[in-house]
Chains A and B, each alone.
Chain A
């Protein structure tokens, strides 16, 4: 299966490794990611105001590109996923936006929300299957107690995101089990870390992060993994009283699949 791949700004700049881990792991699992040509930044925040059109266009362009190739659009960053999936939903349901955006974009054929947006984790779950990942793992992370941090953007609003049970998700825990580690359930895993306000209000972000990290630690976690580069940064940079290593899920996948060694060996 080949996906149109939307890496997003962070994974192309500050966090290039995360992108590389994601691509190589996908390849190892038999999934091809074709980066969308000339993609533009999605804006990282879904424009909630109903009169916002221009701020949604970059997402629509990416969606149209995937539609043109007849592929699903795959995202790796939760923020991109959230923005693009919600804009796509708007294009399916909001007549006003449909009309105005299509008038503006002047595409060969109007875009009406035909593309399907899939997060990397959903691809692992629904396309590859966690059982198959388990089989493909060469270096299981045995005994490592990992806390999955979902945050907000993957889960909410559940009516649009339809990602997992918004109040009691399991997908990242299933992922953790697949790579041989032990998931840790803790109460704050779907509470906000304050990533969006980390520039505006550092103390508030710190307060949020501390609550989350403490909750994970109390539950016995040795590490936190996320699917969002902003959360990853925030949980690390704004941790004050409590601190745990924070990793991106693709990094662990990459390690577990033993890709580096394979390359070196080859």
Chain B
């Protein structure tokens, strides 16, 4: 006969207020197999844990049930307690009588009765428990960072500074990301390039950092500590070792059709190009879709002009396969497509631009060399209207837009308005806003400066429609405070478009089995307590891929993610989850059904000599790689002979719970 101990926690009044804890403890005492049952105010406190330890020793308990809060809260605590008293930690079961009982039932008799049932189910289960020992797996001491924007760069630098190898995989030809496209940054107005480019250079020169640019992640397998990633390094058609980044080829290239991505397509570039002057790595790349050589087989002007002989038209994609202990997602964002909001005439006029386009129009390295001009005719604008919340804060059942606040638009719009007024005091600037949201250090002060010092015309209300009237843009909007409909004739309209996760995020999330929300932002393991970790072990989140953020927040989160990665990589081995699948070789039919449903490829089949009372000989049997198995149990249900079972959640354990509940 087993000796089970039951420990009923009051959780102060959290449980005791609606569950008669003494009655539960008393009732459990008469359950078969229970040799000790008691209650205590806070079982998780040191005294409470000592009570458990003493009982385990005194009554020689071989299994315990703690009736307390959710196992997600304190299962680990009580397992450690049991272990300290010499009991296998997996001989502990938790009856969740707080979240699933006392907190949701107001009636004491009802709560008490349910608590007893839950306790009985846990007792029934623990009787079927078996001591389990966790396996261990080694940790590959290298991290992969997906995305080379400020988030990825910062994480990589921090991890590398701690002494670990880091690879950054970036899909575009240069690192730098969105921040590299920005002109000035709020609320300090320092230039983005001035603070970003030194970090880009540092990442490039760091001996522990390996930049894999113009590359895409193709596949990820494995698990925490032991990921294997396959990366496709796309052909640049330029020899990286030979190219000096002199840029002669980019000037000589006769094709001028490619839209300049760095300038948001506001101007064009050659088919061979370097994304921007400070690109890292400073290497040319051929855009084959616009290259005359690739289209006609002729041209080759770049090849003739390259004194380094770096042009390699026949270069092919390269596959890099490498092992990593941790993966950081830093995939960033893009502005939504403003053409969905055509009431603002985005597709109808070149003078209606998004804020990121405006950023390029203001930038000294931009298409107009930093002189603000109207894109349609290159003339100086005299009146500019900014429209906030374009595509943000939309209802889920609206025809378009995102439900969330994009968070950064209020501040960058204030920045734009201020910069325009600073540089061109003759320009009238209007900002239509719903709310101005400035929760950040020095943020509201910044916005007030735009209003008070720079005379920016902030109008509470939304623009209903923008129409093209000759050379002017007719902005028709409401001013809620004056209860008027305004008609403003502007030269330019700037749309503060919502931001959304980079389009590659969804497929990367699927590869990593990292969960995402309905907006394709990555979900954190806990919204407050584990904000930089994905629920999938070994996957960490950095920057806007997790939700809208400004630069300081992104950098802070990037550092936090790095510290989590460092914590993981500093371990030599990881203790695994012992609740894994296991095949009873005597019962196994060798039918391979389980192998087909395993998402981790943890099951293999072998011909093996098997000895048992009814069978002796060689047979085909399933084998589970315990380091790879994550314990989902999909295999167990496919097995018709119940040869495959899951430790910790065995058929017998679950059936015992069912029986106890339906008793």
Contact = CB atoms under 8 A, between A and B. Distances in A.
A167 B468 contact: no
A158 B399 CA distance: 8
Interface in A166-200: 166-168, 187-188
Contact of A168 (B348, B469, B474): B348
Nearest to B468: A187
Interface residues of A, number: 11
B114 to A, nearest CB: 36
Contacts of B468: 187
Nearest to A165: B342
Contacts of B341: 167
B347 interface: yes
Contacts of B474: 187
Contacts of A187: 467-469, 474
* Among A166, A167, A168, residue most surrounded by chain B Cβ atoms (within 10 Å): A167
Interface in B282-341: 341
A168 B342 contact: yes
Contacts of A143: none
Nearest to B347: A168
Nearest to B397: A159
Nearest to B342: A167
Contacts of B347: 168
A159 B399 CA distance: 6
A261 B288 CA distance: 55
B343 A167 contact: yes
Interface residues of B, number: 12
A174 to B, nearest CB: 16
A158 B348 CA distance: 19
A167 B342 CA distance: 5
Interface in B347-385: 347-348
A215 B474 CA distance: 12
Contacts of A158: 399
A166 B400 CA distance: 12
Nearest to B467: A187
* Among A166, A168, A187, residue most surrounded by chain B Cβ atoms (within 10 Å): A187
A168 B469 CA distance: 15
A1 to B, nearest CB: 30
Interface string A205-230: 00000000001001000000000000
Contacts of B343: 167
Contacts of B399: 157-159
Contacts of A168: 342, 345, 347-348
* Among A157, A159, A168, A188, residue most surrounded by chain B Cβ atoms (within 10 Å): A168
A187 to B, nearest CB: 4
Interface in A95-149: none
Contacts of B345: 167-168
Contacts of B348: 168
A165 B348 CA distance: 12
Nearest to A189: B467
Interface string B440-479: 0000000000000000000000000001111000100000
Contacts of A215: 469
Nearest to A188: B467
B352 to A, nearest CB: 12
Contacts of B342: 165-168
Interface string A148-165: 000000000111000001
Interface in A3-47: none
A234 B260 CA distance: 48
15 contacts: A157-B399, A159-B399, A166-B342, A167-B341, A167-B342, A167-B343, A167-B345, A168-B342, A168-B345, A168-B348, A187-B467, A187-B468, A187-B474, A188-B467, A218-B470
Given A168-B342, A187-B467, A188-B467, 10 more contacts: A157-B399, A167-B341, A167-B342, A167-B343, A167-B345, A168-B345, A168-B347, A168-B348, A187-B468, A218-B470
